[in-house]
Structure 1
Amino acid sequence: MAGIDNIRSGQMMSTTSRAPARNDSSATSSATESKKAPAQQDAVSLSQQSKAVSKLQKDMAASPAYDSAKVAAIKEAIANGSYRVDPEKLADNMIKFENELQGKS
């Protein structure tokens, strides 16, 4: 029998038998057993390391994302023409960044 996509044309479809349905008495007995069993409580405990990571995340969220004084100094240096770029250092950092992206050390 062919599938809807005509990939299996000429192949027989195989079927598997399913497990017999369970009777109602087993379903009701398991339901009554679950009513009799006391409810178990879930518990979570955090390690000292996870607490430290959580504190670090909160501290980082509270601090500014960049040094505004350094940004202002660089803007001023660019504006007055005194900002100089070291081309070798820039090239080395670009190569290092590309290597990190590719998983190289």
Structure 2
Amino acid sequence: MNKINGLIGNNGYTNSATDAKSGTRAPTSGTSGSIGSEETSVSLSAEATGMQQLTQQLASPPSFDQAKVDRIKSLIAQGQYTLDPAKIAARFHELESQ
């Protein structure tokens, strides 16, 4: 800051180059310093809304029967869970034909 005639500062005059060096911004006339006083709205397309819903669904925990999973895990660990290859193949065929 400069000291001129016993006053510190720039005597009320602003210089954008000086203000840029000091890291302060010179006030511009007609502004109150508030930014974004106008209300802004955003609307999403149907596709964006669908993507937002899908993202929320994927972020939520999966819905499955934990008791059934635990029972099957126990049967596998005991060697008592049998697989039916024909049933598995039929289910894969059903899924692939959809």
> TM-score of the superposition, structure 1-length normalised?
0.36
Q: Which has the higher helix share?
A: 1
Higher strand share: 2
